Amino acid sequence: MANSRRPATGSTRVTRPRTAGRSELGRRGEEVAADYLSGLGYQIVARNWRCRWGEIDLIARIRHSGRSKIIFCEVKTRAGLGWGDPLEAITYQKGRRLRQLAGQWLAETGDHADDLRIDGIGVVLLRGQAPQLKHVPGIDG
């Protein structure tokens, strides 16, 4: 997926400062994503797990037919679509980093499962509207 710091409708390069408003937006998006996954029967194992190489937004587990699956989720949140679909911000490099972080989490926790997966979740939070969520299972191939 492309990584562009340019609004979808303009041609001028614009960068956004990191602000408390953006971190609050991200936190709200992760809450929406966690609620969504919980509603599907996933157990949220960790939120915002960090190590020196990066962060995994959500780690979830689901059991089905006696098998266990751990899902590592990258959540991208937007307050509108002027910067494009939130999932476009998950680049190939980010997917690669998530695979490395997933391995680190497994090594540190000693946890294991029959299957592992890396998902992308895009959340759009528009004022006065219900959150819009798009879940893409298996973004790592």
- Residue-range domain boundaries for the chain: 20-136
CATH of domain 20-136: 3.40.1350.10
Cβ atoms of 76 and 89 closer than 8 Å = yes
Task: Give residue-wise pLDDT tens across range 3-47.
Answer: 444 444 544 444 454 444 778 888 999 999 999 999 999 999 999
Task: Give residue-wise pLDDT tens across range 44-102.
Answer: 999 999 999 999 999 999 998 899 999 999 999 999 878 788 999 998 899 999 999 99
57/90 Cα distance (integer angstroms)? 13
Structure tokens at 125: 């939070």
Q: Are strands 54-64 and 132-136 parallel, antiparallel or unpaired?
A: unpaired
70/30 Cα distance (integer angstroms)? 17
Quickly tell me which residue has 């699956």 as its tokens: 69
